[in-house]
Chain A
């Protein structure tokens, strides 16, 4: 597949042919339809934003995007092949601990405990395919269908809670 590869912040940014990633447990391979650019992507790529801690070595940049699930790894139960999905770069370690590590995939980690998480998920959406942890994937079907009844039901449920803090 074609993928943009960045040799570290301030390094060379080149469009290259690289292998399509293999799905891992808890992940899906997504064929990218669109990758949305951050306003500061150019400055990030140039290394002008020193507060960012990028993945180690060469990686594929690119954060939020939209695409279609091409392959589903094991330990994924709801999301199916062929589903249209939104991709967020925000990934929180799934362990049930007090302060799980958080990263923005293909962008930055936050603190020492998050660096290994980003090293495991270094590559983003500026490519023909992206492998994403399932926690960062949201099904995005039926976007042109009105479903006001569902929303109205939720709205009623949420407003019913007003004044009864802790009961819902």
Chain B
């Protein structure tokens, strides 16, 4: 999961000696969102540390700039 455009160097001996497996995973099951919402509803997942950075629809160019440099706990959203 996740997206990046750089190569991922692998410490070969560490992987081999520990019988590690490296698996790629494209996206997630369709019900994953629903199960995530269950965690929110139950109070088991606290997403309050995530700060939304809100832009109006016409400000998409600024929002894209902000998204490119946003931190892990910032979520850039555009609201029509």
Interface residues of A (CB under 8 A from B): 2, 4, 13, 15, 32-43, 45, 49, 51, 62, 86, 88, 90, 92, 102, 104, 110, 126-128, 135-136, 138-140, 142-148, 150-151, 154
Contacts of B43 in A (CB 8 A): 146, 148
Tell me, yes or no, whether B68 is within 8 Å of chain A by CB: yes
Extra 6 A-B pairs, beta carbons < 8 Å, given A34-B54, A37-B64, A90-B27: A35-B77, A37-B66, A41-B64, A126-B60, A148-B42, A151-B42
Q: Determine whether the beta carbon of A36 is less than 8 Å from that of B77.
A: yes
Nearest-neighbour CB distance to chain A for B58, whole angstroms, equals: 6
Q: Pick 19 A–B contacts, CB within 8 A, sort by A.
A: A35-B79, A37-B66, A37-B77, A41-B67, A41-B68, A42-B65, A42-B67, A42-B68, A88-B33, A90-B27, A92-B30, A126-B60, A138-B37, A140-B33, A143-B41, A148-B44, A150-B42, A151-B39, A151-B44
Q: Determine whether the beta carbon of B40 is less than 8 Å from that of A143.
A: yes
Q: Determine whether the beta carbon of A146 is less than 8 Å from that of B42.
A: yes
List 9 A-B pairs, minimum CB-CB distance, nearest first. Answer: A42-B64, A37-B67, A138-B33, A34-B77, A151-B42, A90-B27, A128-B80, A37-B76, A147-B41
Which A residue sits closest to B44, measured CB to CB?
A151
Which A residue sits closest to B78, measured CB to CB?
A35
